[in-house]
Amino acid sequence: MADIALDLTPDAQAAIADALNQAVAETAVTTMMAQNFHWNVESNTFGPLHALFQTIYEDHFAGQDDLAERIKMLDMHAEGTLAGMIARSKVEELEGHYTDVEMIGHLQKAQMTLSKTMSGAAAVAEQNGDLLTQDLLISRGMVHDKFAWMLRAHTKGRG
């Protein structure tokens, strides 16, 4: 078990950094999705959704920074281009206009994808003896599970 990031083998650092870069990419794409929806939501649920979407993108912006900084602690390269993140992400960049219900659905799906990505990356960190990265990823996964639940709650009782 490594005590700090630089105690890991180069192969372990590379594997963990790759998993973290996946997490950063998907978080970045979802950040922009939430901000886009924050700007463009229109309905009788404008107020609560406008606020929730802002809470999500602000959280995700800080979260992607924490993930990228962990990559740097591993002495690896953090992907920093939008094109690279979009190409890598399992969360798709969206174009066009969406209803409030469609926005909720897209963002909920993105949160579930992020939760799975964080869980998978945490497993990579655990397999390579990096409990600190594992803890970070588990914490981020819990955030995405919570946002998925909050979004799902907005559609309960709708026909």
The reported pLDDT for the residue numbered 158 is: 64
Angstrom distances, CA of residue 123 to CA of 19, 23, 128? 10, 13, 9
Q: Where are the domains of the chain?
A: 5-155
The reported pLDDT for the residue numbered 2 is: 63
Element at 43 (helix H, strand E): none
Specify the fold of 5-155: Ferritin (1.20.1260)
Mean pLDDT of 54-80: 97
Considering the chain, what percentage of its residues have pLDDT values greater than 90?
90
pLDDT tens per residue across span 7-39: 889 999 999 999 999 999 999 999 999 999 999
- Identify the residue whose tokens are 């700007």: 39
Q: Please state, rounded to an integer, the average pLDDT across all residues of the chain.
A: 94
SS3 98: coil
Question: Phi-psi region for residue 89, left (φ > 0), alpha (ψ -120 to 50) or beta?
Answer: beta
Using CB atoms within 10 Å of the CB of residue 114, give its burial: 0 to 12 exposed, 13 to 18 middle, 19+ buried. buried
Predicted confidence (pLDDT) at residue 159 exceeds the cutoff of 60:
no
pLDDT tens per residue across span 37-54: 999 999 998 999 999 999
Task: Give this prediction's pTM.
Answer: 0.94
Mean pLDDT of 95-119: 97
Instruction: For the chain, state the CA radius of gyration.
Output: 16
